[in-house]
Amino acid sequence: MSGIDEITLNFSPASLTLLNGILAVVMFSIAIDLKPSDFHQLRRAPKPLIVGLLSQFIVLPVLTFALVWLTAPRPSIALGLILVAACPGGNISNFITHRAGGNSALSVSMTGFATVGAILLTPVNIGLWGGLYPPTRAILQQTEIDPVQIAITVGLMLILPLVLGVQLNMRAPDLTARIRRPLQWLSMGIFVAFIVLALAANWGFFLQFAGAVAGLVILHNTVALGGGWITATLARLSPYDRRAVTIETGIQNSGLGLVLIFAFFGGLGGMAVAAAFWGIWHAISGLALAALMSRTEAAR
């Protein structure tokens, strides 16, 4: 298993550009669900949003750091988990929250605010928590990471489509109403297909090392969902809002994580396999949790 720290996965610059574009389309498909009034409503009652963002950017990275200390995985796997935890909520969280009978408006707004916040908080969390753990600190010291470049990457992939989507929804609501659902399904289908093809190009490595990360990723995802639920419960949010915060904390933007891994860490094996497995597993766990939650209606 030690070889996972030495391998790099095959991922061409053209593939990275394509993944950037796909993620931008996915973000755009989410943004056309947003209106400025959604943000105004949360400004009047911001507690659920604040609790959700604290769970996303503080509670989850702290729990991840504790998990890494306790389990002591290979350094590249540990840094992969830290990086995934530093990313904003995943693009499918809004769909899963809706299926779970949670507050979809809160989920979409959390995704929007977390995406904007990620410009600053994602590089800060990677540097902070990765630097506090000696084995991952060694990788960071060997890697030339430019926080400004990470911020630019996040901005172009996520913020620009977010702004364009909100603008289009304001100016042409009839159009966005027609294209919203088909575009969301299409963009997610393309994203899943891309991940499958990327894994196929590295299938030997993935099969060789998936066992090394599967248990950790499942445990990490369970910790993320549990951390979101406990944070929302301690903050005394309604069950309706609690479902959104739980899912938003447990569904991470692993696609963004893969972009950062290939752009700034050279496709380091343990990091890439951890992020790729996250991308598969959180969809499974999220949909299973949504099916369980949807059996009862959440009180508002």
Top mean-pLDDT range of 41-50, 176-185, 211-220, 233-242 = 233-242
- Please tell me the least confidently modeled range out of 41-45, 50-54, 82-86: 41-45
pLDDT of residue 66: 97
Q: d(Cα 128, Cα 133) in Å, to the nearest integer? A: 9
pLDDT of residue 110: 87
**Which token pair is 66?**
């504790």
Q: How far is CA 242 from CA 33, 61, 137, 192, 273, in A?
A: 21, 19, 35, 28, 30
Higher pLDDT, 81 or 105: 81
Q: What is the mean pLDDT of residues 186-215?
A: 72
Q: How far apart are CA 77 and CA 34, in angstroms?
A: 35
Indicate the range of 33-42, 77-86, 147-156, 171-180 predicted with least confidence. 33-42
Least confident window among 21-25, 83-87, 132-136, 237-241: 21-25
User: What is the model's pLDDT at position 270?
Assistant: 81
pLDDT higher than 60, residue 77: yes
- If one compares 239 and 9, the residue with the highest pLDDT of the two is 239
CB 23 within 8 A of CB 256: yes
> In whole angstroms, how large is the CA radius of gyration of the chain?
18
Cβ distance 232 to 246 under 8 Å? yes
| Mean pLDDT within 9-33 | 72
* Count of beta carbons in the 10 Å neighbourhood of residue 223: 20
Summarize pLDDT for 131-188 with one digit per residue, the tens: 999 999 988 888 776 777 777 777 777 778 888 888 888 888 888 888 877 887 787 7
Residue 205 confidence (pLDDT): 67
Q: Hey, what amino acid is at 10? A: N
CA atoms 154, 157, 163, 169: torsion sign: negative
| CA dihedral (217, 219, 222, 228) positive or negative | negative
**Helices and strands (H, E) in the chain, number of each type:** 15, 0
Q: Is 80 exceeded by the pLDDT of residue 53?
A: yes
pLDDT tens for 221-273 read 999 999 999 999 999 999 999 999 999 999 998 888 888 888 788 777 788 88
Per-residue pLDDT, averaged over 74-86, amounts to: 94
pTM: 0.84
Q: Is the dihedral of CA 61, 300, 93, 106 positive or negative?
A: negative
Amino acid at 21: G
What one-character DSSP code corresponds to residue 2?
G
At residue 64, the pLDDT reads 98
Give me the helices (H) in the chain, please: 13-31, 36-44, 47-54, 60-71, 75-86, 93-100, 104-132, 134-142, 147-154, 160-171, 173-201, 203-234, 239-250, 254-264, 269-293
The domain limits of the chain are: 13-293
Third-level CATH fold of 13-293:
Na+/H+ antiporter like fold (1.20.1530)
The token duo for 273 is 């396999």
How high is the pLDDT of residue 99? Answer: 83
Average pLDDT over residues 206-234: 89
Buried b or exposed e, range 21-47, using 16+ CB within 10 angstroms:
ebbbbbbbbbbbbbbeebeeebeeeee
Model confidence at 1: pLDDT above 60: no
Average pLDDT estimate for 194-203:
68
Q: At how many degrees (to 10) do helices 13-31 and 104-132 cross?
A: 140
Question: Is 215 exposed, middle or buried, given 0-12, 13-18 or 19+ CB atoms closer than 10 A?
Answer: exposed
Are 112 and 162 a contacting pair, CB within 8 Å? yes
